[in-house]
Amino acid sequence: MKDLIIYGRASQKVIKTIPINTDDLTTNLMELLLDNGIPVASSCNGEGVCLKCILTANGEKILSCQIDIEDLFKEHDSVTVIFSYL
């Protein structure tokens, strides 16, 4: 089982842990986060142009609307996504 850990830099705590199942692998990160009640800043509806959904995952800045869960977990069983505003 893979886990997506949501960490808030502002609150300095783990906000939520989301277990990842095989159905989630083709979903992009933004959709998965929104489906799990995590607010993601965005004004372009996932087009990748507003750059508001930039998060830190695996130590790298990523656009949450442009990365699938499968790609995010390619080399990891657990991924921590850091939100600066949570």
The answer, yes or no, to whether residue 45 has pLDDT greater than 90, is no
Task: Give the number of domains in the chain.
Answer: 1
Domain that residue 18 falls in: 2-83
In angstroms, the Cα distances linking 6 to 10, 36, 47, 85 are 12, 11, 23, 12
Confidence label for 58 from pLDDT (cuts 50, 70 and 90): confident
Spatial distance between the Cα atoms of 82 and 5, rounded to a whole number of angstroms:
8
> Residue 54 is part of a domain; what is its CATH number?
3.10.20.30
- Higher-confidence position of 37 and 1: 37
What pTM value is reported for the model? Answer: 0.92
Q: 46: Cβ–Cβ under 8 A, 6 or more apart, which residues?
A: 28, 30, 31, 53, 65
